[in-house]
Structure 1
Amino acid sequence: MEGNLMLLYRSLVTLFALKVVAGLVLRGDRNALRQRLALEAPAEGRHLWLHAASNGELSSARPVIEALAARGVPLLVTCNSPTGVALAQSWGLVARLAPLDLARVTRRMIRHWNIVAQVTMESELWPNRMLLCPGPVLILGGRLSPGTARGWRHFGGLLGRMLARVAFLSAQDDGSLARFRAAGLPPEAEGPVIDLKAFYAPPRLADPSLSALRRDGTWLAASTHEGEEEIVLAAHALARRRDPGLTLILAPRHPRRADAVERLVRAAGLSVARRTRGDPPQGADVYLADTLGEMALFYPLAGRVFIGGTLGDRGGHTPHEPAAFGAALIHGPDVANFRPAFARLAEQQAAIGIEDAATLAAALEALADPEAQRRLGARARDALAPATDAGTLAGMLMQHLDGII
């Protein structure tokens, strides 16, 4: 039975591999093809293989990665996306596209890079990589949702076999840890429950063209989705009745929607300045932040932040980043993606929950005083602070790597 289930996995991953390879061949991307098939020339020296899906997972783990690098650990980073690879390379790391999880490709990857251990992030559980790794397998921010756990049951005991190879697992939340235990995680492999996003370290960015924005008189709607901008703009119009100088930085999750969002702003009777046009924010009711990768530039400019994706069915975006900047947090009811973090915020009364434009406007007015913004922001930062720091977590990993790296 177990052999048949592994055969089923091999069949499915082979079909996936054929699709990926065909796409790369059609695009003529030979470099990506070589990396996906682990066909590069062998590298010198031993390596710890660290795999993350893409930018988000990699950014969450950056403090741990830096702590490992500071200890002299030779890292090879792989990601599923070119943007993740580019991000890792921008940090000075050796990074490649992740190889396809075919047994032959995985063996070639391990041989060419002299892999002696593997660290995998969150829900990136790949059977061949874990089963064929010659040294310890370590999982950081391990995430196993109820749906994913049910999906693994179609493969019988395959997940249990993989988890038997795990020397250390730090789960993202208590629910994931319970599901990993039920699936066969050895008790001795259990590490502390840590949400890696709590390690977010805010970069210090500045743009003189935005210096006119006053933190206490500006609020940010971060990573909004379709259907949320109308609520945000209605709340902004209501709040401006009490505070006519209030400015909104509106940052849609997908900047390609900027034209549609700008039309919504104008339809609400509000003036708009747009970042991609180089418009200065002075005098505009709304500053449309229609760029990617600049949220760390906007967070310090706003004393109040509405967390997008929480009004609807998107599950919400991270509260960790705005909290790291000391912003007062406002959010809707849909927080499924970060439920433990929002639960801590609720327990410590460190954020304001809203449901519609009227309650959002009321929250903005309640936080009009700069001292109220600072108090709530400090409470949120304390509520989401990790119990274990990145250096300590890296030290836990090193206990399993001593003598082999």
Structure 2
Amino acid sequence: MSERWASAALQTYRWVGLAAYPFLGAYVALRASRGKEQHARRHERYGKASLPRPEGPLVWVHAVSVGETGAVLGLIERMLSKGLHIVLTTGTTTSAALVRERLGDKVIHQYVPLDLKPAVSRFLNYWRPDAAIFAESEVWPMTILELGARRIPQILINGRMSDRSFNRWKKRSALADSLFENFHHVAAQSERDAERFRELGARPVTVTGNLKADVRIPSVDSETKSQLENAIANRPVWAAISTHDGEEKVAARVHRALKKHWPELLTIIVPRHPKRSADIQKMLVEYGLNVSMRSVDKMPDANADIFLGDTIGEMGLYLRMAGVAFVGKSLKGEGGQNPLEPAVLDTAILSGPNVSAFEEAYKKLVAAHGARFVEDEISLAKAVYKLLANDKLRTAMAMSAARVVSDMEGALDDTWDMLGPYIQPLIVNAQLGNAYQTSDDDDINGTQGGKKRIGWK
């Protein structure tokens, strides 16, 4: 693909987006009707702000979903502690709920604008970010080009490049080069990711590690934890977490098979998307299983086969109850889900083979015997049985997984250091702005309002 062809492709993308823009209302409304958008905030997808822009330096951070959002929380908290304002965009209702729970009104949350020129331009014209930070693998052509046209530094952090994405970009190398050259810096999770970004035209690229290894698991309310422990008592427990469509059925059949050996077995199922919980409950009941739902029943009763974790932000609570966890989107989906959270909480980890999005983490976990792959429902049932029946083996796996995560820590500090040239000037400006504001309010040498407050345009 030539540079001329790449330029033409981007221009076509721009014009197709402009042509489609007036007709997207029905599409967004349909998504809202299915729970994939918040109906009252759907205008944010067109770049229309729902909150005022604060005075002072502002950083735009984008994290598409729950996993990416959790990964950047530590970084956001550091920036907030330095006086920076953050507008945090996400693309899903579950990630928006996580932001509300973990950060409250400390950040400005908006849904990410559609990657169309009118929406992106409106968003940028209103918020006027001083820097843009994207997490993991978000590459939106119009957003990148509009930021580039405004000379706003854009940095990709926790960057990863799957085999599938890399092969697609390689076939369009000129297009990739015209986009990736706009990034002021790419901080990659691994050396392999870094080499792929470099090959696609990104400069400079450094390896900072996986931010998810530095994620702090939220503390669990001691009273709630005690209540759940009492409700479970001495029952054997395993969990299927971050499950996707089809994997709940697998967990249900595994439960029925293992219940022959442990009649009091409790299986905790935590779907990746809680809005699917009603359908999951219906399916489980049709399988002849007794179901307790966290959002309704609060605690599993003595007869519950399944405890359905249909809440957001309580993964730590569920994992603290289970010594074995199957991590989903790996048998019935593609890419896998983050295994580092259960690893931190002393859990033996099982996964299907489809883990391309977390390949490096799984490679280290499997090599250290902290995780095992299963091929199907039968091998999952056998693995769960073996671990529930062998406390020594289960404990050894959990300890190995925890050591792997400990060895991987440090990405947050390295990413923070990498961001220094881009955000340190903003921090200085924020602190100067605060100093001038203070002098407005204070009586300096007997003179009220000795200095004028800085206004940021």
Structure 1 residues 107-162: Cα deviation after superposition (integer angstroms, max 9, x where no partner): 55444333221111222223324423424221112233344345556766343233
Q: Which moved more, 1:301-310 or 1:82-91?
A: 82-91
- Structure 1: 5+ residue stretches without partners: none
Structure 1 residues 223-243: Cα deviation after superposition (integer angstroms, max 9, x where no partner): 334544454344434444444
Identity of aligned residues (%): 25
Question: 1:114 and 2:112 equivalent?
Answer: no
Structure 2 equivalent of residue 200 of structure 1: 215
SS in 1 for 2:61: strand
One of 112, 117, 127 as aligned partner of 1:98: 112
Structure 2 equivalent of residue 47 of structure 1: 58
- The residue type paired with residue 209 of structure 2 is I
- Structure 2 distance, partners of 1:252, 1:232, is 11
Q: Which moved more, 1:66-75 or 1:24-33?
A: 24-33
- The residue type paired with residue 210 of structure 2 is D
Kindly indicate whether the alpha-carbon contact (under 8 Å) linking 2:370 and 2:401 is maintained by their aligned counterparts in 1. Answer: yes
- Structure 2: 5+ residue stretches without partners: 33-37, 428-457
- Structure 2 distance, partners of 1:30, 1:232, is 36
SS in 1 for 2:11: helix
- Structure 2 distance, partners of 1:38, 1:355, is 46
Kindly indicate whether the alpha-carbon contact (under 8 Å) linking 2:210 and 2:411 is maintained by their aligned counterparts in 1. Answer: no
| Aligned-pair CA distance for 1:95 | 2.0
| Aligned-pair CA distance for 1:355 | 3.4
- Structure 2 distance, partners of 1:214, 1:136, is 54
Structure 1 equivalent of residue 323 of structure 2: 303
- Structure 1 distance, partners of 2:209, 2:235, is 32
SS in 2 for 1:49: strand
Structure 1 residues 296-342: Cα deviation after superposition (integer angstroms, max 9, x where no partner): 32111111112233334444322122112111112233333322221
Q: State the TM-score, normalized to the length of structure 2.
A: 0.75
- Say how many residue pairs are matched: 400
SS in 2 for 1:65: helix
Kindly indicate whether the alpha-carbon contact (under 8 Å) linking 2:235 and 2:266 is maintained by their aligned counterparts in 1. Answer: no
SS in 1 for 2:320: helix
- Structure 1 distance, partners of 2:44, 2:304, is 50
Q: State the TM-score, normalized to the length of structure 1.
A: 0.84
Structure 1 equivalent of residue 413 of structure 2: 391
Matches within 5 A, 1:366-385: 366-367=386-387, 368-385=389-406
Structure 2 equivalent of residue 321 of structure 1: 341
- The residue type paired with residue 4 of structure 1 is A
Structure 1 equivalent of residue 306 of structure 2: 287
| Aligned-pair CA distance for 1:379 | 0.9
Kindly indicate whether the alpha-carbon contact (under 8 Å) linking 2:208 and 2:414 is maintained by their aligned counterparts in 1. Answer: no
| Aligned-pair CA distance for 1:170 | 1.4
- Structure 1 distance, partners of 2:242, 2:410, is 28
- The residue type paired with residue 375 of structure 1 is A
Matches within 5 A, 1:204-219: 204-206=219-221, 207=224, 209-211=227-229, 212-214=231-233, 217-219=236-238
Q: Which moved more, 1:383-392 or 1:224-233?
A: 224-233
- Structure 1 distance, partners of 2:39, 2:64, is 20
SS in 1 for 2:369: coil
- The residue type paired with residue 192 of structure 1 is V
Per the alignment, do residues 16 and 65 of structure 1 end up closer, same or farther by CA in structure 2, a change over 3 Å counting?
farther
- Structure 1 distance, partners of 2:265, 2:8, is 64
What do you get for the CA RMSD once the two structures are aligned? 3.3
Matches within 5 A, 1:5-404: 5-15=9-19, 17-21=21-25, 23=27, 32-33=42-43, 36-38=46-48, 43-90=54-101, 91=103, 92-103=106-117, 106-126=120-140, 127-152=144-169, 157-186=174-203, 189-206=204-221, 207=224, 209-211=227-229, 212-214=231-233, 217-253=236-272, 254-266=276-288, 271-278=290-297, 280-284=299-303, 286-289=305-308, 291-293=310-312, 294-367=314-387, 368-385=389-406, 386-404=408-426
| Aligned-pair CA distance for 1:387 | 4.0
- The residue type paired with residue 16 of structure 2 is L
- Structure 2 distance, partners of 1:117, 1:279, is 43
- The residue type paired with residue 88 of structure 1 is V
Kindly indicate whether the alpha-carbon contact (under 8 Å) linking 2:157 and 2:187 is maintained by their aligned counterparts in 1. Answer: yes
Kindly indicate whether the alpha-carbon contact (under 8 Å) linking 2:60 and 2:133 is maintained by their aligned counterparts in 1. Answer: yes
